[in-house]
Amino acid sequence: MRNMEHCTKDNRNDSATKTKVMDSTLDSLLGPSEVGRTAEDPKSTAIIYLEKHGILRLMQKLVYEIALFQPDDPIQYMIDHVENIRDRID
């Protein structure tokens, strides 16, 4: 597996793009928010949580790598990747 850390041309660091992707994903999960971004807004709460724990970045990286490498078993690829991260943290 190639290391993808060198890929800087993509838009992962573009804050506006990240927000659009998160909004689209959360809209599909929670429905569009009719409330502004307040503490009570479920979408804002979800975004804060995902950013705090690095989940959005992890998922973006996994999707990017799966699309690039096209492993035979993408679910197992994600499991292995997350377990590897967990093992390094423990």
State the DSSP code for 12: T
Residue by residue, pLDDT tens for the chain (90 residues) are 444 444 444 444 566 676 677 677 777 766 665 545 555 788 889 989 999 999 989 999 999 999 999 999 999 999 999 999 888 887
Q: What is the distance between the alpha carbons of residues 88 and 68, in angstroms, rounded to a whole number?
A: 24
pLDDT value at residue 35? 46
Give the pLDDT confidence score for residue 20 in this predicted structure.
Answer: 72
pLDDT computed for residue 70 by the predictor: 98
Predicted pLDDT of residue 38: 54
pTM confidence score: 0.54
Instruction: Return the sign of the alpha-carbon dihedral for residues 68, 73, 79, 85.
Output: negative
